[in-house]
Structure 1
Amino acid sequence: MPTDIEISRSVAPRPLPEIAAEAGIDPRHLEPYGNSVAKVSLDAASELADRPRGRYVVVSAITPTPLGEGKTTTTIGLGQAFRHLGRRGVIAIRQPSMGPTFGIKGGAAGGGYSQVVPMETVNLHLTGDLHAVTAAHNLLAAVLDNHLHRGNASGLDPWSISWRRVLDVCDRNLRHVVTGLGGRDDGNPRETGFDITAASEVMAVLALCDSLPDLRARLGRIVVGTDRGGDPVTAEQLKAAGAMCVLLREAIKPNLMQTAEHTPAFVHCGPFGNIAHGNSSVVADLIGIRSGDYLVTEAGFGADMGAERFFNIKCRASGLVPDAAVVVATVRALKAHSGRYRVVAGRPLPEEMLRENPDHVLEGAANLRRQIANVRAHGVPPVVAVNAFPSDFDSERRAIMQVAAEEGARAAVTHHVAKGGIGAADLAGAVEDACTERADGFRMLYDDDLPLLDKVDTVARRMYGADGVDPTPLARRQLESCERNGFGRLPVCIAKTHLSLTADPSRPGAPTGWRLPVREVRLSAGAGFVYLICGDMRTMPGLSSSPAVERIDIDDDGEIVGLS
């Protein structure tokens, strides 16, 4: 099979006005960035408002191995597959962060015959949205430090400052830094640090707003710390929010591209899946939901994380109601959940893991059962997508199908990476059937009025299978501060490892008899959620011993090589 980049370069893209026209978007709403991507004006959403609403499908997964189980490829393959059933599919995915692109992943826009093209464009810079987020975020950091330097009129307590700087690279040396060193004119020395841009609250704000006025209002609500009386100090008080919005004026517009089979693809925003809510933009969905018969979007990591946040954070913000949820499962991941194997990113799978053994698949099936239940807890019909790999055996795939049947979930084996949309046609049929069900009706996991700690406890018990929550004294004080300052009605976003249902990445399967440790609480008032850090979480990744950056280069003809 050709490499991903060879497949991408073999595709002859159709003119974007044709792609837009098929989606019902008037070409006058397109703002071209070269030949392969265009910004879509926000006016397109209001113009499409009278069109019928398509079915809304979210793609999630079981708890993945460090290698990932193919949610993005499944999202793209499923979107392509609807055309083979005589339906119009549209997809919406996050923009890849260049940190992971130059780190372990090497690219993050699908693969094989289920990818967004051109591969180089989508993985490297795109239309500069991530840089705009970086600039807006760091502008607020600069205004904050200037505010301290110029007398601190707000009475901001320097020890309470939570606003760090961001950069779209993996750089462990920037996790903890001291700024303001030098003479008096060089600022006030203080400890701070950098996060990766995908973890920025500005990124989460951009992904959750539904209009330019909403973006401006949310930016103003960002809390950077508290004054000495414990009251929040906001970006609005520092007079930075307006200029931040100016920097994001173009970034709020979704990016329109196409898949290898010319399915319309919105690639917009990239909030981290284990720190922020891990979903692409509300704006793209508001346009995409009326651009086809099916809008397929992706939620980061397993259904306990990305899908839970899709349901309880993104759907709260957008008002859209999902019709079905796909849970991607692989043979290798369920074998890993048996606890018998160790999978390491960047290394080949253990040799014994590649031998035929459906019993080991069944041993790890508790995780799949839990994730099916997590989808059902929200009243959404689940569909299990068995993402086929060449190393699988039919008996092992049948074992996954057996588990899905025992749980009463629809299921289909999908070969979209090797065969494109036609390889996902069975999955598309199963999703189409599920979208007619909606028997219980969509529901949130918790009410807005529930206290924050009770919201966390609800997620921990019902999504993760925990026996409860153990907040540190610091976390308790921070939760009480959020409640006292009027943020108690916000949803919660639990930042934990994506490699386990627990906060411990070494515990596969669906463990029981454990409690969720909450180490720290941070407020994302602009984005509209409170996020809780559980276990050892990094908001700035580091590079591996053999990162993709070492393989990415440019040849004598100006072609990029090394992306994967």
Structure 2
Amino acid sequence: MKTDIEIAKEIKLENIKNIAYKLGIFDDELEEYGKYKAKIDLSILKRLETKANGHLVLVTAVTPTKKGEGKSTVTIGLTQAFNKLDISSIAALREPSMGPVFGLKGGAAGGGYSQVLPMEDINLHFTGDFHAITAATNLISACVDNHIYWGNELNIDKENIYIKRVIDTNDRALRRIQLDGLKYERSASFQITVASEIMAILCLATSIKDLKNRISKIVVAKNLDGGIVRVEDLKIQGAVSAILKDAIKPNIVQTTENTPAIIHGGPFANIAHGCNSIIATKLALKLCDYTITEAGFAADLGAEKFFDITCRKAGVTPDIAVLVVTTRALKENGMENLGVHIENLKKFNIPVVIAINEFEGDTKEDFDNIREYAKQYDVDVKISQGFSKGGIGCVDLANKIKEICDKKDNEEHIEIEDKNVENFNFLYDLDLTVEEKIEKLAKEIYRAKDVEYTNEAKEKLEFFKDKGIDKMPICMSKTPLSITDNPEIKGRPGEYTFKISDIRPSFGADFLVVMSGNVLDMPGLPKVPAAENIDITDEGEIIGLF
């Protein structure tokens, strides 16, 4: 089969104005970035605020192998399938990070005949959103060190500076750096841009006003008096927000079948909350009948955070979850891994359907084994052939989703006294203590017997307890390669202790990052990075990109 980029170059793209026109987006609401990509002005949200929402479909997955199991491909194939059925549908996706693009995992623009295009642009600089987030974060860091340099009126403790500089590149050399030339020296480190609090804030903000308010609340450091220092104390929230004036606007592109996709934001799910922006999702819900979105990594990370963080902040809940499965992932992690993820999703009281993302070499026996296993959970299984066939390869999956959503719609029209419709459940109540929320996550989702805190985590928890973290949802930072905090533990874990290594409040994003295991917020490159295969011809054509 042809490579992704070969397929992409054969597609005749429509002018982005035509894609937007089909959705009912006005010309003065569209800001074009060339012929095939554009930003949507936030004024559209006011115009559409009284319009009813369409259905929301969340695509998640079992525990992945290191190369991923194709959630984006299934998401794009599924939205193409709905459009083939003459049902309006938009894929709402995260933007790819250039770290993985040049590293091991590759891009995040789908694959085969289910891609978002122009894939070269989307996988590289796109519309510059990540660069704006990088610049905004680094402005804060620069102002912190500059404030200390010029006398430190805020009494910042330079040994307890929480804000980190960022870059959208995998670079292990930046995990620890030494800053000098400042009249003082201090140790520091970089994060990859997608792990930054500004990235999370951009994806959770609902307006420029909300964005600016959230940025002002970012805690940059501890002070020597035992208090905290925020961005608003540095008086730079306006400048930081100004850098993001265009980045907050969602991006519209098209798929390989010229159906619409809104792509915006891209926090990592093993460090941050792993979902595209609330603005993008809520806009898509107003513009179509079925919004297909995804959450990073497996259901224990991305889906749980989508439910307990994004849905809480957005005030929306999904109608159904699509659990992506591959035979290779189940061979690596065991069939019981599938069972745990089904059980976990059902805790939130939403319907679940399994989508087997077909790979070359898969057999009928493999598929039959998955179907047989899923029977005990009363979950339907459909084959997704979006990679090899595009939208037509996901029509069975789309029809099953429509069937389930239609049934739900019909139930909701029954008289209230006759209703028997399950309501969506959050995993935990925000009024629980921090320790109770963490324990609920660890025991119910990660299947731990006990939770253990390092001394550093205990100290940080105690320090921040009276500073507003008690009502925050939990954003767990953990390995994506296991349901547990240990990447070596596969399948359904037995009795083990989940270990908390650090507490990092994100006051602007309004969630509490809880660190476990040895998750790196600055990845490194593999021995043979994908960068070695990517090139540009004398005519300006990018080659070797997947």
TM class, shorter-length: over 0.9
Q: Deviations over 1:176-225 (max 9, x none)?
A: 001124xxxx4431110111001111000001101100000000000012
> Secondary structure of the equivalent of 2:381?
strand
> 1:528 and 2:510 equivalent?
yes
Amino acid in structure 2 at the alignment position of 1:275 = I
Q: CA deviation at 1:160?
A: 1.6
RMSD of aligned residue pairs (Cα, Å): 1.1
Amino acid in structure 2 at the alignment position of 1:235 = V
Q: CA deviation at 1:130?
A: 0.3
Q: CA deviation at 1:156?
A: 1.6
Amino acid in structure 2 at the alignment position of 1:247 = I
- Native 8 Å contact 2:68 2:105 kept in 1: no
* Ranges of 4+ aligned residues in structure 1 off by more than 6 Å: none
- Native 8 Å contact 1:206 1:252 kept in 2: yes
Q: In the alignment, which residue of structure 2 is the partner of 1:9? A: 9
Q: 1:380-391 maps to which residues of 2 (within 5 A)?
A: 380-391=350-361
Picking from 472, 477, 493, the partner of 1:511 is 493
> 1:495 and 2:477 equivalent?
yes
Amino acid in structure 1 at the alignment position of 2:163 = W
Cα separation, 1, equivalents of 2:321 and 2:474: 21
Amino acid in structure 1 at the alignment position of 2:298 = G
Q: In the alignment, which residue of structure 2 is the partner of 1:31? A: 31
> Secondary structure of the equivalent of 2:232?
coil
Q: Deviations over 1:464-513 (max 9, x none)?
A: 11112111121122122222112210001110100000111111101120
Q: 1:418-497 maps to which residues of 2 (within 5 A)?
A: 418-436=388-406, 439-497=421-479
> Secondary structure of the equivalent of 1:236?
helix
Cα separation, 1, equivalents of 2:314 and 2:296: 18
Q: Deviations over 1:391-410 (max 9, x none)?
A: 10011011112222221112
Cα separation, 1, equivalents of 2:476 and 2:407: 30
Amino acid in structure 1 at the alignment position of 2:323 = V
Q: In the alignment, which residue of structure 1 is the partner of 2:279? A: 283
> Secondary structure of the equivalent of 1:178?
strand
> Secondary structure of the equivalent of 2:234?
coil
Q: 1:52-451 maps to which residues of 2 (within 5 A)?
A: 52-181=52-181, 186-337=182-333, 364-436=334-406, 439-451=421-433
Cα separation, 2, equivalents of 1:233 and 1:144: 10
Q: Deviations over 1:370-412 (max 9, x none)?
A: 1111111111111111111111001101111222222111221
Amino acid in structure 2 at the alignment position of 1:389 = F
Cα separation, 1, equivalents of 2:39 and 2:184: 40
Cα separation, 2, equivalents of 1:386 and 1:43: 39
Cα separation, 1, equivalents of 2:523 and 2:183: 28
Cα separation, 1, equivalents of 2:464 and 2:402: 42
Number of residues of Structure 1 aligned to a counterpart in Structure 2: 534
Amino acid in structure 1 at the alignment position of 2:253 = M
Q: Deviations over 1:411-463 (max 9, x none)?
A: 21111100000100111112122324553111211111111111111111111
Cα separation, 1, equivalents of 2:469 and 2:495: 31
> Secondary structure of the equivalent of 2:286?
coil
Cα separation, 1, equivalents of 2:279 and 2:468: 27
Q: Deviations over 1:39-63 (max 9, x none)?
A: 0000111212232211001110001
Cα separation, 2, equivalents of 1:101 and 1:82: 29
Q: CA deviation at 1:29?
A: 0.5
Tell me which moved more, 532-541 or 473-482: 473-482
Identity of aligned residues (%): 44
- Native 8 Å contact 2:353 2:380 kept in 1: yes
Call closer, same or farther: CA 1:448–1:540 in 2, change over 3 Å: same
Q: In the alignment, which residue of structure 1 is the partner of 2:534? A: 552
Amino acid in structure 1 at the alignment position of 2:259 = T
Q: In the alignment, which residue of structure 1 is the partner of 2:418? A: none
Q: In the alignment, which residue of structure 1 is the partner of 2:414? A: none
Q: Is there any run of 5+ residues in structure 1 with no aligned partner, and where? A: 338-363
Q: CA deviation at 1:515?
A: 1.4
Q: CA deviation at 1:290?
A: 0.9
Cα separation, 1, equivalents of 2:391 and 2:52: 24
Tell me which moved more, 248-257 or 458-467: 458-467
Q: In the alignment, which residue of structure 2 is the partner of 1:354? A: none
- Native 8 Å contact 2:320 2:401 kept in 1: yes
- Native 8 Å contact 2:67 2:104 kept in 1: no
TM-score (norm 1): 0.93
Q: In the alignment, which residue of structure 1 is the partner of 2:21? A: 21
Q: In the alignment, which residue of structure 2 is the partner of 1:538? A: 520
> Secondary structure of the equivalent of 1:385?
strand
Amino acid in structure 1 at the alignment position of 2:194 = A
Cα separation, 1, equivalents of 2:446 and 2:386: 30
TM-score (norm 2): 0.96
Cα separation, 1, equivalents of 2:380 and 2:24: 31
Cα separation, 2, equivalents of 1:227 and 1:433: 57
Q: Is there any run of 5+ residues in structure 2 with no aligned partner, and where? A: 409-420
Cα separation, 2, equivalents of 1:395 and 1:151: 70
Q: CA deviation at 1:105?
A: 2.5
Cα separation, 2, equivalents of 1:386 and 1:221: 43
Amino acid in structure 2 at the alignment position of 1:38 = A
Amino acid in structure 2 at the alignment position of 1:393 = T
Cα separation, 1, equivalents of 2:129 and 2:297: 23
Call closer, same or farther: CA 1:552–1:34 in 2, change over 3 Å: same
- Native 8 Å contact 1:54 1:289 kept in 2: yes
Cα separation, 2, equivalents of 1:218 and 1:188: 30
Cα separation, 1, equivalents of 2:469 and 2:243: 27
Cα separation, 2, equivalents of 1:270 and 1:497: 18
Cα separation, 2, equivalents of 1:529 and 1:187: 35
